Amino acid sequence: MSQEAYMKVHYEILARREDEAVKSFLILSSSTHEVKEASWNPGEKTLSKALDALGIPISSLHEKDITPIRVFPELGVISAVSKVKSILDLIEQALAKLIRRVEPVPRSKALLISSVPMIKTPFVWEQGYTGKGVKVAVVDSGIDPSHPELPRAVASRSFVEDEPVDDLDGHGTHVAGIIAGRGEIYSGIAPDASLINSKVLNKDGWGYDDDIFAGIEWAVEVAGAQVVNLSLGHTPLPSEAEIKFASKYLEWIRRGVLFVAAAGNEGPAPETIKSPAIIPGVIAVGAVDKQGLIASFSSRGSQRVEKILGEIKPTLVAPGVSIVSTFPSDISHKGKIDPLHAYLSGTSMAAPHVTGIIALLLEASAERGYPPQDNYSNIVASLIASARSLQADKYAQGHGIIDSRRALAGLGKQKIQAPGEDALDRYRNYLSILESENLNARVESMVEILQSFLGVGILAMSFLSPGGNPSASILDALRKAYQSGLITREQYIYTLAYLLDKQKKQ
């Protein structure tokens, strides 16, 4: 493979066996505004039409045994499944000029580890606001359509292969109940909100990011979601696809759509906020217990994150420990308290508390005649200004714990600017720093392994013979590529470090 082609491929893909099947993002040199539905309605005919508009005949992918899954025409991104060798052949030959970059598709997971009065919601109900007329998207593992305490979703679609819109995990139903449950004992924050069921996580609580983004796009563009709850996430991956998806979030935010995401469950370590919560403009939510103490698992931000992104992460905190909500009757769980309810913990549970309050504020905003494009400046400003500060570090609590009563009282009195044109550059810069630090950390780890345990230099790789080592052939090919000058020393070390680190963990 030529050096030009090599430079296009993310090291995580290069580090895999050539016969291994992977799901990849193909980042294209072009984009088109045609055939938007190719992401959320990826039938063969739709995919073919979208690929043709991008200058890529679907036959050229099939010839290489590459199966396109979704196409995001506006962003110039294709997700596809194939063997590593097929991807390498593709960019070396037929479509070398059309494909700028090949990256792995990250996987996100549900972020799991008497909250309504705690955030002063009954007062807002007394003012007549219950979320009426507001469309809330639950982008999750689905919503149980038969649960007696949940409203029937006004729109439903599954983006998980071979799974119906029903919730086979329980996480999405629990989240939906926190937002819009209608039980006499366990009520949601906005019981009259209209739910949109966008199923993107499978029965085990995992989902690929192409499916997740397609589910978000469908919820916003087709189903008309005004606020989107994302109780899921993955470690931010420095990639072009991540930047392209972030650009779309920012576009929607400026149009008036609000996004609420779980901050993550990797606290108390700093700089552990997950994506999409880390994206500028997305409301990142950490968790507190019922005593108002920051949950130890709740992910933290840092001064550096604030300085680079221009905003504090997490944005807010909300109840997220031992939260009782709706749960499918046919799924067993250790947290079940009766056939229809279970208690769960995590920032996954904190995020829908904020989403529910936003639904209440959106109803109030519409009643007062505020235009949708001002949703971010009005509603986020009100949430931040009204949050109650806790006795905790600001990079653990953000602006504080949400208070729906104070937020309603302050609606329209404060303004905050939606993320500007520089927000994407700030995010790109942050990801670049992460990538650089990843490289340094991997190099240090690799050098330590070689010197302390193997006692050999960087290029003395002949000890890794093909026999008995599943990665040996890759390492041998990598060594030869470096020695022949096809790749740089940095590229060689980066990939080698990843492989050795991966072997050490096995």
pLDDT, averaged per 10 consecutive residues of the chain (506 residues), comes to 70 75 92 87 90 90 92 94 86 76 90 65 91 98 97 97 96 98 93 98 97 98 98 93 96 97 96 97 97 96 97 97 96 95 96 98 97 96 97 96 96 92 95 78 52 42 38 59 65 61 52
- Side-by-side strand order, sheet with 21-28: 67-72, 77-83, 21-28, 99-104
Strands 67-72 and 77-83: antiparallel
Q: Which residue has the tokens 């010197």?
A: 451
Amino acid at 407: A
Candidate list 10, 171, 234, 353, residue with the active-site label: 171
Q: What pLDDT score was predicted for residue 482?
A: 66
Report cis status (omega within 30 of 0) of the bond before 276. yes
Annotate 346-396 with DSSP letters as a single string: SHHHHHHHHHHHHHHHHHHHHHTT--GGGHIIIIIHHHHHHPBP-SS-HHH
Backbone angles phi, psi at 285, to 5 degrees: -120, 120
CB atoms under 10 Å from CB of 96, counted, come to 13
pLDDT score of 193:
98
Q: CA-to-CA distance for 472 and 461, rounded, in angstroms? A: 9
The pLDDT value recorded for residue 256 is: 97
Q: How far apart, in whole angstroms, are the C-alpha atoms of residue 397 and residue 74?
A: 36
CB 180 within 8 A of CB 136: yes
The 10 Å Cβ neighbour count of residue 172 is 31
Catalytic option among 24, 86, 348, 471: 348
**What is the reported pLDDT for 497?**
60
Structure tokens at 457: 């230099």
Alpha-carbon gap, residue 121 to 190, rounded angstroms: 9
105's CB contacts (< 8 A; 6+ apart) are 23, 24, 25, 79, 208, 209, 210, 241
What is the pLDDT, as a whole number, of residue 9? 83
CA atoms of 424 and 248, how far apart (whole Å):
10
Residue 468 has what pLDDT? 37
Q: How far apart are CA 141 and CA 342, in angstroms?
A: 16
- In our burial notation (b when 16+ CB lie closer than 10 A, e otherwise), range 371-395 reads eeeebbbbbbbbbbbbbeebebebb
Eight-state DSSP code of residue 239 = S
For residue 238, the model assigns a pLDDT of 86
Active site annotation includes 211? no
Question: 139 and 216 in contact (C-beta within 8 Å)?
Answer: yes
Tell me whether residue 103 is exposed, middle or buried, using C-beta atoms within 10 angstroms of its C-beta: 0 to 12, 13 to 18, 19 or more. buried
Contact at 8 Å (CB) between 190 and 180?
A: yes
Residue 177: closest CA among 199, 147, 209: 147
Note the pLDDT of residue 471: 45
Is 353 annotated in the active site? no
What is the predicted pLDDT for the residue at 474? 57
Amino acid at residue number 280: P
Q: What's the confidence (pLDDT) of residue 64?
A: 87
Q: What is the pTM of this model?
A: 0.87
What is the pLDDT at residue 458?
41
In the residue annotation, 140 being an active-site residue is answered as yes
Q: What is the pLDDT of residue 117?
A: 66
CB 249 within 8 A of CB 81: no
Distance CA 57, CA 75 (A): 18
Contact 211, 159 (CB under 8 A): yes
List helix spans (H) across 368-488. 375, 381-386, 394-397, 404-409, 423-448, 472-483
